[in-house]
Structure 1
């Protein structure tokens, strides 16, 4: 049995939550390996809707869930999310949830800095303002406060002093008041006994899990095109979102990620700023946004919508080593008489089969479209190929050809069981 890594193959919001929840039934452990509470997953189980930002989706299934060292953790938000799920009948205990003791913390000063920078920026990135970027900056700057630091008051006090030595000049430059180190120390001391029961060496736990033959599901956040190295830089998130990060962000090693399942929406969406070659500003774009309920789980912001971009997804397949895709929201295309797929780009007279790295070039490219006939029948709720209209099947097959990866699953509604299973990733 292989481990499985689930990643978004576009700009995020591809419907990973449902698929991770669905696959959790086949896994023993679910691991979140990057990002912070800027990511959102919506799980629909019967009449119950769960909205998760930081917690791995496995908690809803009662599966052992791990927040890995690659995640930056706002401890106050974590407790809020635990309490919210508790109100929905999901009791989260240290036996269910493990927090990597070497994960870095998001602090209130990170949120202040994030929001102040975005407000002052001329060319806005479109961050969620939750402090994720500044927290990663402190991590790579080797001045972050980590979960295990909460165990040692003296060391914590010294680390706060070092952290403020960096942040105080930044705050002055942005017109923010100086941060009170004693206040931060008191807040961390107050929250420490609530957080530390969940903390342990996650890498050690996962090493034992794999050696015992259990199956691990790695849950990515955001999407590959928001990767800080491989995405549409600088309009990206602050972490590596590609599948390779599952190894580094969990401590399990390069063989750990196993089968890579890329989640791909049947069209393309993006939240926030940045290049978007196939973006639509017409009635079709409005249709996709309205029927697809394209609003961010975390921010509530409307998502930009456009035609399926096979060039971008093919690039994601290569960057992530994707073995198969889960195609989501096929039903949102129901009723559109003509569908378009981007099969290449034009840039100053040249034809490209990839997204160039430069922002100027990314903004200047023009999509080359291939048209296909749509379908009038409904695909909503389909659970087998025979339930799909012939043109819907043709669309899926053409997507497979263009991106160079087979469809392992096709999702036809937010409901957990409305899924066409072609191959089980855990059996591959």
Structure 2
């Protein structure tokens, strides 16, 4: 066995819940279970018998080997496996000498859990199982089974156990969790394994491309928000826009992909992206609490919010409002767990994260929109339907702040906001120092037709508005998010020559001055810069 493998030995009287615990650890933690009954049958050459016969045969082997036959059988069993399991469960031992032999053979990797319950409870459980034992109608009564000498003495194993649990007081899930904690399956401390990527302005800061660039460094990619945000990723110059899945889904094919309990789902967009990215159950995990957008949500927003505040009208806000109304919502709320088509992908986000924490895996949380659009901190009512800060993203994903290692704040050299459906610029929200794309083209030397083509929203294909860099908004975003790092995108909009830069020193003096100012205002280094479309235009200055 490998040095990191654990061996759990379970003991307890019949009916105490030993098999239930073992099955729970197999299903939840991928443990490998071996039953001493199977080991005994193998020793007997496959010759079976009733419970009493097996009890007598086991007792005889214990006397002959001083309990070593279990340890020897376990070692032989492990020798037949392709590789050592993360956790092996021995279900179950019946005498102290068996435990002692296992500890001697396998050392400190062995942990012993003893389960028990009051006699009356054990009898009730035994009789319930007996009534369902169609294959064994002549099964012994409870009193007859308990009359066995070894069975009567099994409670004595509690004295040497590392953990003793009364399964009448502790339900099966509580027993599993306490056992998993004893084994260190959740990790021994709270490591900072989570990095959060959020926008610092009004969205469209280029988060998708940065998330795709970073994704191969992570074990799990988490996307929060909903389909009202499109994250465009350039793959060999051909863009793909993610509305539901994390932007690194294609760039990191081995990473697990998670849509957390705060996610809002457009089934059409979700199924299309699942097909495009060829995701299968076991790689994509959708929390059962994720909210489903109904067609009536989209209709409602198209009839009001689109013209009033330039909403993308994807139904996210209306669906979220219904979720808040709970049982008073009309139409009734549907969650991911209510859809048969999503069941192959359903898994509690917390379990995926717990497994990742325990293995020391890195997690990237990808936020949507930007700090200036936060429902609580933006220019209400010209905001989105959720809190877009790092704290809000963590809450949607179900991640504690103490897990965060890095917070990356993405900002553009020239912030943008969405244009009105009618071409006006008043109702999508205020901007400081608004400019024209003609002025950006004049300053940068980039072709105007290229800017007009590229600067259309990923979700609604509207022309974007643009403004001078907003230092007040940057300071506000820094206060709300406390970034450890800043990502500056669209550096080529300062000067077209920046697009050919492959080193920081090759950027223009204007770019250097802007970066210095951002680092002072945000109190964080500018660790990543993008100078064009695609990952090859990203300058990586990180020291982590």
Query: Does the 8 A contact of 1:381 with 1:419 survive in 2?
Result: no
- Per-residue deviation, residues 269-297 of structure 1 (Å, max 9, x unmatched): 11141111121147315668755421101
**In the alignment, does 2:461 pair up with 1:300?**
yes
Gaps of 5+ in 2: 1-191, 420-427
Q: Provide the C-alpha distance between the structure 1 equivalents of 2:267 and 2:440, rounded to a whole number of angstroms.
A: 38
Q: In structure 2, how many angstroms separate the alpha carbons of the residues matched to 1:328 and 1:281?
A: 19
Give 2:256's aligned residue: 64
Structure-to-structure mapping, 1:355-366, within 5 angstroms: none
Q: 1:148 to 1:332 in 2, by over 3 A?
A: closer
Secondary structure at the residue paired with 1:221? Answer: coil
1 CA distance for matches of 2:200 and 2:283? 29
C-alpha RMSD over aligned residues: 2.0
Alpha-carbon distance in structure 2 between the residues aligned to 1:228 and 1:290: 34
**What SS does the corresponding residue of 2:379 show, helix, strand or coil?**
coil
Higher relative contact order (CA 8 A, sep 6+): 1
The whole-number CA distance in structure 2 between the counterparts of 1:290 and 1:94 is: 43
For residue 521 of structure 2, give the secondary structure of its aligned residue in structure 1: helix
| Higher mean C-alpha deviation, range 285-294 or range 56-65 | 285-294
1:89-168 residue pairs with structure 2 within 5 A? 90-118=277-305, 124-143=308-327, 145-150=333-338
Gap runs ≥5 in structure 1? 151-191, 336-377
Q: CA contact under 8 A between 1:101 and 1:146: conserved in structure 2?
A: no
The answer to whether the aligner puts 1:315 opposite 2:315 as a matched pair is no
Cα distance in 2 between the residues matched to 1:140 and 1:73: 16
Give me the whole-angstrom Cα distance separating, in 2, the residues matched to 1:383 and 1:240. Answer: 36
TM-score by length of 2: 0.58
Matches within 5 A, 1:41-80: 41-60=231-250, 61-62=252-253, 63-80=255-272
Query: Normalization by structure 1: what TM-score?
Result: 0.74
Larger radius of gyration: 2
Q: Which position in structure 2 is the counterpart of 1:256? A: 403
* Distance across 1 between alignment mates of 2:526 and 2:449: 26
Alignment counterpart, residue 81 of structure 1, candidates 273, 281, 306: 273
- The residue number in structure 2 matching 1:7 is 198
1:418 maps to 537
Q: CA deviation at 1:219?
A: 0.2
Residue in structure 2 matched with residue 229 of structure 1 by the alignment: 376
Shift of 1:41: 0.8
Distance 1:383 1:95, change over 3 A: farther
Partner of residue 246, structure 1: 393
CA contact (8 A) 2:440 2:493 kept: no
Q: Does structure 1 conserve the Cα–Cα contact (< 8 Å) formed by 2:193 and 2:361? A: no
C-alpha distance in 2 between matches for 1:386 and 1:237: 38
Shift of 1:146: 4.0
SS at match of 1:270: strand
Q: Tell me the secondary structure at the aligned position of residue 58 of structure 1.
A: coil
**Residues of 2 paired with 1:417 and 1:327: CA distance?**
15
Partner of 1:154: none
| Contact 1:147–1:199 under 8 Å retained in 2 | no
Matched, 1:268 2:415: yes
Matches within 5 A, 1:310-389: 310-334=471-495, 378-389=497-508
Instruction: Say if 1:411 and 1:418, in contact at 8 Å, map to a contact too.
Output: yes
On the 8 A contact 2:416/2:466 being kept in 1, the answer is yes
Q: Classify 1:222/1:58 alpha carbon distance in 2 versus 1 (closer, same or farther; 3 Å).
A: same
| Higher percent of residues as helix | 2
- 2:373 and 2:410 map into 1 onto residues whose CA distance is 14
Match 2:344 to one of 197, 220, 223: 197
Q: Deviation string for 1:362-407 (max 9, x for gaps)?
A: xxxxxxxxxxxxxxxx010423212223332223212322343320
Tell me the residue number matched to 1:283: 438
- Residue by residue, what CA displacement relative to the aligned partner does 1:80-101 show, whole Å, maximum 9, x if unpaired? 2323x2xxxx311122211111
Q: Is the 8 A contact 1:58 1:65 kept in 2?
A: no
